[in-house]
Structure formats: structure tokens, C-alpha cells
Amino acid sequence: MKEVLFAIPVGIIATAVMDLERIIVFGVPVPAGDGKRRNGPYLLGRWVCYMFKGQFRHADITQSPPRRAEGAAGWVVHYLIGWNLALTYFFLLDLTGLSATLPAAVIYGACTTVFAWLLMLPAWGMGWFGTKSKMTFFSLVNHIAFGFGLFLGTLLFNPLS
């Protein structure tokens, strides 16, 4: 039960580290404008908003018309996913008896890239592993940063002690 409670702040920290890394390393600020070129959580929000209308795949999500409240939806879902991934990390550590180390967190973070590569990016029209875009490497680096954030959050909140 305590994993559920500790996963909230740790997931928030890990997701925030991922967002900061995206801005610092890739120079991708929070986008503005009409939404045609939005990325990250904004496209996630667009995808989620379209799902509620029954559309799960896009030829090119950046060309799909923006949806009302896609930014808010995207940021909320982005951080909920971070919380769920942190919760899964703690359950896996508990299940395997492994310690919350930097290598364990980074490897786990890198492994979570599979969700972007095999689910999200293909559904957005970017191909398997994001091969129709520059997202293959980008998403891997982002998820490794998420792993660093998991380790940092774990140090701050020490949920498994």
C-alpha cells in the first residue's frame, strides 16, 4: 500500500525530470500557437481527446486538428502515466527483491520506452519505434531521464525502506 502513496510524488518528480530534460537537452519549450506543431504532452492530449471520439490512430497526429482542452488533458495524462510507471517500478522492485539503485531506475526508465515505440508513436502516425520521425532516439533519451527522476524521487521519499 505504501508504494501507491509514495509513487505519487516519485512519479511527479520523475515526469518533471523528463520534462526538464526535454527542454534543456532538446530545446523544446512548452509550445504555443494554433496547435499544429505542438509536441509532447500536447500531442498526448490530442490523442486522448480523439480517443474519446473513437479515433485511436492518426496518419499524422500533428496534422489532425487540435481538440479543445488538449493541453490540459495531455499534461494530466502525462503525469498520471508517470505515477503509474513509478508504481509499477516499486511493485517490480518489491516482487524481485531488488534495490532502488540508479542502474535499476535507469534501466527501467529505458525499458518503458517500449510503450512509446510500440503503442503511442505508431498510433500517432510516426511508425513503429518512431522511425517516420526523429522520435526513436528522442523518446529513449526522455525515458532514461525518467529513470534518473525515479532514482532522485526514491532518494527523496525513500518509499521502500
pLDDT tens per residue across span 23-72: 888 776 544 444 444 567 889 999 999 999 999 999 999 899 999 999 99
* Residue 51 belongs to some domain of the structure: no
At 109, the pLDDT band (50, 70, 90 cuts) reads: very high
Do 45 and 77 meet the contact criterion of CB atoms below 8 Å apart? yes
* Residue 87 belongs to some domain of the structure: yes
Confidence (pTM): 0.88
* Residue 59 belongs to some domain of the structure: no
State residue 130 phi and psi, 5-degree precision.
75, 25
* Residue 127 belongs to some domain of the structure: yes
* Residue 93 belongs to some domain of the structure: yes
* Residue 44 belongs to some domain of the structure: no
Domain count, the chain: 1
* Residue 69 belongs to some domain of the structure: no
Structural domain boundaries enclosing 92: 2-30+76-157
Close Cβ partners of 62 (under 8 Å, ≥ 6 residues apart): 36, 37, 38, 39, 43
* Residue 66 belongs to some domain of the structure: no
Close Cβ partners of 53 (under 8 Å, ≥ 6 residues apart): none
